[in-house]
Amino acid sequence: MHVLQLCHKPPLPAKDGGCIAMNNLTQGLIEAGHKVKILTIFTHKHDLKLDELSPDYIQKTDIEGVHVDTRINFVDAFTAFMTNDSYHVNRFFSPDMDIKIDRLLRNQSFDVIHLESLFMTPYIGTIKRHSRAPIILRAHNIEYTIWEKIAIGTKNPIKKLYLNFLAKQLREYELMMFNSVNGIATISESDKIRMLQLGVRKPIKTVAFGIDLDLYPCSATSSNTSVKLFHLGAMDWEPNVEGLTWFIQKVWPHIHQQFPHLTLHLAGRNMSPEFKAIQATQVFIQGEIEDATKYIQEHDIMVVPILSGGGVRVKIIEGMALGKAIISSTIGAIGIDYKEKENILIADTAAEWIEAIDALVNKVGKKERLEHNARLFAETHFDNRIITKELIQFYKEVQR
């Protein structure tokens, strides 16, 4: 099978969950004996540096990229507001990328055209003009729900008005695009259910995020006297900033008072100077790190205090694979078919966070059992070889 993978950012370097998800899909298809061609957008935030990629990767993926300026332009944003277009998605449309796709499809044929995220859907018209291959949308999130939840938590009335308008635009656009493709591969079962409730009529298959478990060795745990809580995630993503700000201001003071020996460590790319300047006792803010796996291994309890957003937190899956105890909000763990208190702890209020941390710190064997069960859960639910087989089967079903 020959697959054209159209990406809204380069899969490598795998600097965030979206990149990891795309790269693991690429690697899974190649290892299963299929041929993959990558055509990607790259931006000021996600650059494509071919000289830093291995010759083997370049040869196997024939990767090419087109630079697109996705930075917010207030004139374009206002124009989109007046014309009722989804500026959130339109920022990813480029005439150069459109021409590149046009020329590629005139010269090569593919069995499947795989779109990574809603942001590649502006090119569907060009794809359909030049190819009869089924178009599969991999829906990383249901985008409009993210902005609905952010709007709810926004106090500024003007900003709230704009965010609600943005969410409404996205909802209309997403529904149209969901019914324009031949099939949809969701990362979570909850997103599939939501799409069906919205009336999406195209085939939908839940194809979970997959990882190569050999790359995630479990590490020894720390003693209860030196436990390090930690969070790792992109800090240019609004739900991460929102959730961590709430956690530091509303929850951490109570945790520190009850467990003064605990420390909280925060890392992630594109962390703003304002966030780095936050002062809180026993809170250490590191910013961007070079090796995410090593960082997770060096810390003990992952905290995911997400208050809004959709999709699946890739870092939770990686934390489970590395055998870490994880405490998450309900929203943070959405899309993961977990068993609460068996392979993850769920906490939404300050009291629940304190209760969860007390269980891991003071109850003998609780933390170790959670770590063991988390690894087993990752092995049975997120093995990339199994996930790839499910995706290929879905491709074939849609082709028929």
Each residue of 345-375: pLDDT tens digit? 999 999 999 999 999 999 989 999 999 999 9
Give the CA distances from residue 66 to residues 44, 257, 344, in Å, rounded to whole numbers and listed in that order: 12, 51, 41
φ, ψ (nearest 5 deg) of residue 131: -150, 140
Shared domain check, 315 and 167: no
Give the domain range for residue 352: 214-381
Q: Residue 110, SS3?
A: coil
Shared domain check, 394 and 371:
no
- Long-range CB pairs of 45-54 (<8 Å, 24+ gap) are 45/9, 45/70, 45/236, 45/270, 46/9, 46/10, 46/15, 46/19, 47/10, 48/10, 49/13, 52/13, 53/12
- Beta strand ranges found along the chain (DSSP E): 2-7, 35-42, 64-67, 112-116, 135-139, 183-186, 204-206, 228-232, 263-267, 283-287, 301-304, 325-328, 345-346
Q: How far apart are alpha carbons 211 and 383 in whole angstroms? A: 6
Same domain, 362 and 244: yes
Distance CA 208, CA 221 (A): 28
pLDDT at 29 over 90: yes
Residues 178 and 225 in one domain: no
Give me the half-sphere count of Cα atoms (radius 13 Å) on the Cβ side of residue 177: 27
CA 4 from centroid of its chain's CA atoms: 21
Average pLDDT over residues 270-282: 88
pLDDT score of 189: 85
Do residue 220 and residue 321 come from a single domain?
Answer: yes
CA distance 155 to 161: 10
Mean pLDDT score across all residues of the chain: 90
- For the chain, what percent of residues have pLDDT higher than 70? 93
Q: Is 74 buried (19+), middle (13-18) or exposed (0-12) by CB count in 10 A? A: exposed
pTM above 0.75, yes or no: yes
Query: Do residues 85 and 139 share a domain?
Result: yes
How many residues are listed for the chain in this entry?
Answer: 400
Letter for the amino acid at 96? D
What digits encode the pLDDT tens for the residues 146-193?
A: 778 778 878 888 888 878 888 888 889 999 999 999 999 998 888 899
Query: Are 195 and 220 in the same domain?
Result: no
Close Cβ partners of 399 (under 8 Å, ≥ 6 residues apart): 111, 112, 134
Same structural domain, 133 and 143: yes
Q: Are residues 287 and 247 in the same domain?
A: yes
> Are 276 and 167 part of one and the same domain?
no
Q: Are 10 and 116 found together in one domain?
A: yes
User: Given strand 325-328, what is the order of strands in its sheet?
Assistant: 283-287, 263-267, 228-232, 301-304, 325-328, 345-346
| Residue pLDDT, tens place only, 323-352 | 999 999 999 998 888 999 999 999 999 999
Sheet holding 135-139, edge to edge: 64-67, 35-42, 2-7, 112-116, 135-139, 183-186, 204-206
Looking at the structure, tell me whether residues 238 and 352 fall in a common domain.
Answer: yes
Burial class (CB in 10 A: 0-12, 13-18, 19+), 247: buried
Confidence bin at 268 (pLDDT 50/70/90): very high
Number of domains in the chain: 2
The CATH number linked to 64 is 3.40.50.2000
The pLDDT assigned to 75 comes to 47
pLDDT average, residue stretch 302-318: 86
Beta strand spans in 11-83 (E): 35-42, 64-67
Is-contact 196 204, C-beta < 8 A?
Answer: yes
Which two tokens mark 347?
């906490």
As beta bridge partners, residue 35 has 2
